[in-house]
Amino acid sequence: MFIRPFELADAGALADIFHASVREAGIHDYSPEQVEAWSPSRPDPGTYVRKANSRTILVAVATNGRVIGYGDIELNGHIDHLYVSPDRVGKGVGSALYAALEDIARKAGITCLFVEASEAAKRLFERRGFRVDARHDFTMNGVAIHNYRMSKSIC
């Protein structure tokens, strides 16, 4: 596996990874109704192209060339997405992506990272030194769901 910057041709793969990850991995921590509300359908790949203008997106690529995960970081230190193909969850892809995002943040002079993490992502971020600032309960597509506001100082 290697990590590289996002390319426009990756957009479809990222949309697939997001939807599959929520549907297949998210179901371990959230109800079927919550998973359906979180990702009712595959997102428009154009969303990733538009996001690439305002943040850094990294992709993890398997040795066979298949995109198996991605993560992004905004200029203010916000990690918005960190998703891995369901068949690669627990195999170090998320951790490698996070390490690369933190390295980018350090080089950019960012001193604090923050995220709204799902149950599964919360466990990964806690292992990487993040603290839970608050549980965030909200409604998405008419369904009650939650995540965690988390942060980490990297100065």
What digits encode the pLDDT tens for the residues 104-155? 999 999 999 999 999 999 999 999 999 999 999 999 999 999 999 999 999 7
Name the CA dihedral angle for 113, 2, 60, 93, rounded to a multiple of 10 degrees.
-70
Residue 115 lies in a domain: no
Residue 129 lies in a domain: no
Q: If you search the block for the tokens 């970081």, which residue do you land on?
A: 73
When divided into structural domains, the chain yields a total of 1
pLDDT single digits (tens) 47-81: 999 999 999 999 999 999 999 999 999 999 999 99
Question: Full-prediction pTM beyond 0.75?
Answer: yes
CA 48 and chain centroid, separation = 12
- Residue 95 sits in a domain whose CATH number is 3.40.630.30
Q: How far apart are CA 43 and CA 20, in angstroms?
A: 11
Residue 147 lies in a domain: no
- State the residue range of the domain holding 87: 2-110
